[in-house]
Amino acid sequence: MRFLLILCAAAGMFAAPDPKLAAAGRIVYNRACTMCHGLDGAVGDRAPALGAQRRYLRRSSQELFNAIKLGIPGTLMPPTPLSDLEVNQIAAFIQSLRATAADVEVPGNTARGEAIFHGKGQCTECHTIRGRGGIIGPDLSDVGGYLRLEELRAALTTPKESIPRGFRPVRLTTASGEVIDGVVKNENNFSLQILTRDGGLKMMLREEAREITYPEQSLMPAGYDKKLTSEEFQDLLAFLSRQSRRPRP
């Protein structure tokens, strides 16, 4: 069975590597590859990070195997004397660094998670999946394809330390007393473009405002692991992890 897993990983049949293969690969990588690359896949003195959040030319297990085993012509990446087993282990470790939530199996009932997303979780008040939901928050149709599982879990449980551009909360009171509450989409010294909580778009001149405040807390609530039961939270996490535009193997 172990030999079959190695062959499948080398052929690129699995999006997510076998955890035991990846764990062994971490040991081999830190022993054999850190003369150039950084420890645990970080950036090194002579070679790039292998687990950074960016696009890679070599993504499949076979492509990674060939790059490690044969080297990359025209670059400083040399061929390796390591065994095929060790090369497969390193390839699995590198893939584990790059894996997003959609690449791993997340326990939970996705159908129940979808019902929670559209119901008890009230997620569609701000977020859209496949054209259904609110637009004041990011579209989550590909959230499992670009966030790691731990990042996805943290987004549901931990308050954001920084607010991404385009989602900064704002509350504006006009000279007539109207209160506009939403997020800033664009602004300059003279005007603001505000997406309101109900999905409307307001273009306001600063001179029209009596008061403008920028709340420091993101509109994204945290603590879903406490607002939901443990089973409900796991179902929601499973549902969100499967939201990816990448075809699954």
> Which of 68, 93, 94, 92 has the alpha carbon at shortest distance from 80?
68
Instruction: Give me the mean pLDDT over the 81-100 stretch.
Output: 92
Between CA 196 and CA 171 the distance in angstroms is 10
Coil vs helix vs strand at 227: helix
Render pLDDT for 224-234 as a digit per residue (tens, 0 to 9). 999 999 999 99
* Count of structural domains within the chain: 3
Coil vs helix vs strand at 191: strand
**Position 52 confidence tier, pLDDT thresholds 50, 70, 90:** low
Is the domain of 143 the same as that of 237?
Answer: yes
- Kindly write down the DSSP assignment for every residue of 88-143, as one continuous string: HHHHHHHHHHH--GGGS---S-HHHHHHHHHTTT-GGGT-EETTEE-SSS---TTH
Residue 116 lies in a domain: yes
* pTM for this prediction: 0.74
Burial 105-128 (b: 16+ CB within 10 A, else e): ebebbbebbbbbbeeebebbebbb
Structural contact between residues 28 and 37, judged by C-beta atoms closer than 8 angstroms: no
* Percent of the chain surpassing pLDDT 90: 69
Residue 104 lies in a domain: no
Between CA 168 and CA 137 the distance in angstroms is 10
Q: What is the pLDDT of residue 116?
A: 98
Domain of 31 in residue numbering reads as: 2-99
Is the domain of 124 the same as that of 237?
Answer: yes
Residue 124 lies in a domain: yes
Token pair belonging to 68? 């490690």
Between CA 61 and CA 205 the distance in angstroms is 54
Token pair belonging to 228? 């939901």
**Position 164 confidence tier, pLDDT thresholds 50, 70, 90:** confident
Residue 47 lies in a domain: yes
Residue 175 lies in a domain: yes
Chain mean pLDDT for the chain: 88
Angle between helices 61-70 and 2-11 (to 10 degrees): 90
Render pLDDT for 75-84 as a digit per residue (tens, 0 to 9). 999 999 999 9
Instruction: Give me the mean pLDDT over the 104-119 stretch.
Output: 96
Is the domain of 78 the same as that of 200?
Answer: no
Residue 249 lies in a domain: no
The CATH number for 53's domain is 1.10.760.10
